[in-house]
Amino acid sequence: MKTMLTIKNLKAKIETSEGDKQILKGINLTVNPGETHAIMGPNGSGKSTLASVLTGREGYDVTEGEVIYDGKDLLELDPEERAREGIFLAFQYPIEIPGVSNVNFLKTAINEIRKSKGQEPMSSVEFLKMMKEKAKLVNIDPEMLSRYVNVGFSGGEKKRNEIFQLAMLEPKLSILDETDSGLDIDALKIVAGGVNKLKSKNNAFIVITHYQRLLNYIVPDFVHVMYDGKIVRSGGKELALELEENGYDFINELKVNAEV
Amino acid sequence: MENKLKENTVETNLTKKLINEFQAYQSKLNGDASGSLNHLRTDAMSVFEKLGFPVKKMEEWKYTNLSPVMNHDFEFSSDLSVSGITRADINKYIFSDGNVNRLVFINGIYSRELSSVISNNEKIFIGSISDSMKNYKEIFEKHYSKYADYKNRSLAALNTAFSPEGAFIYLKKNTELDTPVHILNISDSKIKSVFSQPRNLIVIEEGSKIYIAEDYYSAGDNFCFTNMVTEIFCGKNSHTEHYKIQNEDERSFHVGMTQIHQEQDSHYSNTTISWGGSIIRNDLNSVFDGTNTESHFFGLYLLSGKQHVDNHTLADHKMPNCYSNELYKGIIGDNATGVFNGKIMVREDAQKTNAYQSNGNILLSDDATIYSKPQLEIFADDVKCSHGATSGQLNQDEMFYIKSRGIGDKDAKSLLLKAFASDVIDSIKIDEFKNIIEEKMDLKLKNLLK
């Protein structure tokens, strides 16, 4: 099986008003097609920074290491090129774009991706048909799609819209950044149900979450615990349950050991 | 005051040439014009001679310098009555083949051959001012030059001195005209640089309704200078949708005054879009002369290169219970400059006024400039007025979000800029015209973001 993503000793910093701050301090991770990886960890451990660096958000400076995606040096690509190569980020805080309708936004995105692959633009009929189908997946009212991107959407609607976009763009590697935050249990089930229907042997998911709750519905193959810019523990899905029971206490032990 | 202004003026070759031209123009008119009109012209010319072209020392012209205009040797449109513009040429400027009344003016001169009017009947007249004289002389005299004050405005005075030539539109009481009127102005500088002074008079009587699209283009490789005045009378409970689009090329200068007079319960909406031209100055003034009137000013300036666009607006609340709302947006790239000066005047009697104003700008380069100045003068105590001005760059979070879906940098910018301008574009209620505006905006953005 061909590896999809290899992260080797990835270190990254951000510029702050108090000088540079090292956030990622040597991440190693391998993701294969068909796999779902959960990344857990306390606040400030660098989970969202990892998502940002993988998708090319500005303001992060990679100081060491490499990321190979589909045989390519991912860090050399612009955000839009990464998206066209099949990387998708479901945002923790989806952005509102007044004046741009969901339909127009997605149609532009899909056709840009198709263009990059030398394909013809999708016909309007085909596009509308696809939109209807995918909207059902996450229980989105088609009326919402004619509205401006995320404007006037509730927190839950915004998250569902992220998964809807994921469904429309059919990425190879999806990164869900705290998609569960701010969702009630019903909304969480809808979102997780959508993701499960989209899983296949050809795509992969990285699910970033603070809580174990989401992982009851999106069952991971691997669970990684991040702390202070590193993956400090990896295991199977049972690791999430262990964390649920014992919390991140073991990290304190790690800290003590490090100090000794 | 006038003496002081006199000190500020600069005698230019163009001024001298205009004075000579005026004498020639007067002698050519001979007995053509009625006495009162002749008197008006002479008076207006004396005002212009006294004031001259505006200069930057004047507060109202602080940011706009007309002196580059003075360097060109313009031919006056009256000498260029023969134009090479053909029907095939204007095809690229029109927005509907059938359902529109089109008036075409080349260098300010009416072209009967290129115009096509389909709605005229006993209640509707759409044509040139000269053609209106036969049946509508009385209406003309009642309204002409009654609203656009030239006494303190030298450019309006200059226009008045050489007028009237332009569109005359008249809707009799209770006439709803759904077929839009397209006033197509083309400056043809193929042979020489041209100076034209269109003058439009639009009279919408009580209970009537109209859609007017005033479009400006240029053709030819020389320079064009347009000094236009449009006066609009909005009768009681009338409804006017008015659009002014400036599509001229980079060798064009355009100064203009649009003066609106609103009677009780009237509704007037203006959308001014400027993306062509080198130096542009628009004055849009509405006087609320009746209670319960409503006025909307929308504006968009989309500038590149060294373009300079100055929009001055005035909502003059004279009567109680009136509403005015203004939304001007600017997208400024390269070394271009935008000026916005929005004045709201609430006079003593204008209680219960609601007046709002907002000006937003996106600067696309470090060398782009915006001067934004809201001006509120309020003499009544029971009013609601607000204004706001912003300028900034594109939102980086929005940019990243869009790019993360596979949309490239230019397309992402274009998407956001179109979204930014959308509430101004959406104010255009003639669908076919709006489609053309959207296409033009795409084209302009492509050039701007290259």
Nearest CA-CA distance, residue A81 and chain B, Å: 6
Q: What is the pLDDT of residue A195?
A: 94
Q: Phi and psi of A45, rounded to 5°?
A: -85, -15
CB pairs under 8 A between A and B: 78
Of B400, B403, B419, the CB nearest to A98: B419
Instruction: Name the DSSP letter for residue B176.
Output: B
Look over chain A and give the mean of its residue pLDDT values, rounded to a whole number. Answer: 93
Q: Which two tokens stand for residue B250?
A: 């980079």
Stronger pLDDT, B29 or A186, i.e. the higher one = A186
**Both structure tokens of A134:** 């995918």
Q: What does the pLDDT look like over B143-200, one tens digit per residue?
A: 999 999 999 999 999 999 998 889 999 999 999 999 999 999 999 998 889 999 999 9
pLDDT confidence of residue A1: 64
- A83: contact with B, CB 8 A cutoff: yes
Radius of gyration, CA atoms only, chain A = 19
Residue with tokens 């929009």: B311
pLDDT at B444: 95
Main-chain dihedrals φ then ψ at residue A223, nearest 5 degrees: -125, 130
Nearest residue, CB atoms, B398 vs list A97, A109, A110: A97
HSE at residue A254, side-chain half, CA atoms within 13 A, is: 12
Indicate the residue of B400, B401, B419 with minimum beta-carbon distance to A99.
B419
The whole-angstrom separation of Cα A171 and Cα A20 is 33
The reported pLDDT for the residue numbered B80 is 53
**Cα–Cα dist A77/A173, whole Å:** 15
User: Helix axis angle, B396-403 relative to B409-425, nearest 10°?
Assistant: 120
Task: Provide the pLDDT for residue B7.
Answer: 45
**B166, B77 Cβ separation under 8 angstroms:** no
Would the CB atoms of A112 and B409 count as touching at under 8 Å? no
Residue B348, min C-alpha distance to chain A (Å): 39
Q: How far is CA B308 from the centre of its chain?
A: 15
> How close is the nearest chain A Cα to the Cα of B442, in Å?
14
User: What token pair was written down for B318?
Assistant: 């004279």
Please compute the mean of the pLDDT values over residues A73-86 and round it to a whole number. 97
pLDDT tens-digit series, residues B316-328? 999 999 999 999 9
Say whether pLDDT at B347 is over 60: yes
What is the C-alpha to C-alpha distance for residues B118 and B348, in angstroms, rounded to an integer?
Answer: 45
**Contact across the interface for B398 and A106, Cβ inside 8 Å:** no
Would you state the structure tokens that stand for residue B287, as one six-digit string? 């006087």
Query: Where in chain B are the domains?
Result: 2-290, 394-450
* pLDDT in the model for residue B97: 66
Res B34: pLDDT: 58
Could you tell me which residues come within 8 angstroms of residue A199 by beta carbon, excluding any fewer than 6 positions away? A34, A36, A205
Say whether A95 and B397 touch across the interface (CB within 8 A).
yes
Nearest chain B Cα distance for residue A219, angstroms: 26
Residue B115 reports pLDDT greater than 70: yes
What is the mean pLDDT of the segment spanning B239-254? Answer: 97
Residue in B398, B407, B422 closest to A95 by CB = B398
**Residues of A (152-171) whose Cβ lies below 8 Å from B:** 165, 169
Contact flag A100-B416 (C-beta cutoff 8 Å): yes
B6 band by pLDDT with thresholds 50, 70 and 90: very low
Q: How far is CA A96 from the centre of its chain?
A: 18
CA A58 to chain centre: 17
Residue A80 to residue B400, Cβ atoms within 8 A: no
pLDDT tens-digit map of A34-44: 999 999 998 89
CB contact under 8 A, B415 and A106: no
d(CA A206, CA A220): 9
The model's confidence at residue B2, banded by pLDDT at 50, 70 and 90, is very low
Q: Which residue has the tokens 């953005």?
A: B445
Say whether A169 and B406 touch across the interface (CB within 8 A). Answer: yes
Indicate the length of chain A as a whole number: 260
Q: How far is CA B409 from the centre of its chain?
A: 34
Question: Nearest residue on chain B to A58, judged by CA atoms?
Answer: B400
Rounded average pLDDT over A101-112: 95
Residue of A nearest to B415 (CA): A100
Contacts of A176 in chain B (CB under 8 A): none
> Which of B68-77, B291-300, B313-322, B340-349 shows the lowest mean pLDDT across its residues?
B68-77
Would you say residue A260 has pLDDT above 70? no
Q: Cβ contact (<8 Å) for B404 and A55?
A: yes
Cβ atoms of B437 and B428 closer than 8 Å: yes
pLDDT classification of B26: cutoffs 50, 70, 90: confident
* Cβ contact B200:B168 at 8 Å: yes
Please name which of B372, B353, B352 lies closest in space to residue B362, comparing C-alpha atoms.
B372
A71: which residues sit within 8 A by CB, 6+ positions away? Answer: none
pLDDT of residue B73: 87
Higher pLDDT, A260 or A30: A30
CA neighbours within 13 Å on the CB side: how many for B409? Answer: 5
Q: Check residue B442 and give its pLDDT.
A: 94
Reported ipTM: 0.95
> What contacts A19, CB < 8 A, 6 or more positions away?
none
Residue B4's pLDDT is 44
Quick one: closest CA in B to A175, which residue? B404
Say whether the peptide bond before residue B164 is cis (omega within 30 degrees of 0).
yes
Residue A108, both tokens = 């532009």
- What is the C-alpha to C-alpha distance for residues B249 and A202, in angstroms, rounded to an integer? 54
Residue B398's φ and ψ, nearest 5 degrees, are -65, -40
Cβ contacts of B146 within 8 Å, gap of 6 or more: B231, B261
Residue of higher predicted confidence among A27 and B35? A27
pLDDT at B32: 55
Cross-chain Cβ contact B405/A116 below 8 Å: no
Domain boundaries, chain A: 5-95+171-259
Residue A109 near residue B405 (C-beta atoms within 8 A): yes
Q: State the best of B362, B397, B403 to mutate against chain A, taking most chain A CBs within 10 Å.
A: B403
Mean model confidence pLDDT for chain B: 92
Using an 8 Å CB-CB cutoff, list chain B residues near A84. Answer: 406
Residues of B with CB under 8 A from a CB of A: 396-398, 400-409, 411-412, 415-416, 418-423
Two tokens, residue A44? 């400030």
Nearest to A60 by CA among A68, A70, A52: A52
pLDDT band for position B11 (50/70/90)?
A: low
Say which of B403, B421, B423 has its CB closest to residue A80.
Answer: B403
In the prediction, which pLDDT does B3 show? 43
Cα gap B216→B110, rounded to integer Å: 14
Sheet holding B181-188, edge to edge: B109-110, B101-106, B181-188, B209-219, B239-246, B267-274, B294-303, B323-332, B353-363, B383-392
Residues B160 and B177: their CA atoms lie apart, in Å, by 29
- At B83 the pLDDT is 67
Element (H, E) at A245: helix A238-246
Min distance B325 CA to chain A CA atoms (Å): 20
Q: Which CATH homologous superfamily contains domain A5-95+171-259?
A: P-loop containing nucleotide triphosphate hydrolases (3.40.50.300)
Q: Which of A108, A113, A149 best probes binding to B when mutated, by most B CB atoms within 10 angstroms?
A: A108
Task: Give contacts of B419 with chain A, Cβ < 8 Å.
Answer: 97-100, 148
Written as six digits, the tokens of A49 are 């920074």
Cβ of B405 and A98 within 8 Å?
Answer: no
Mean pLDDT value of segment B405-430:
96
CB atoms within 10 A of CB A3: 13
Residue in A78, A99, A112 nearest the CB of B411: A112
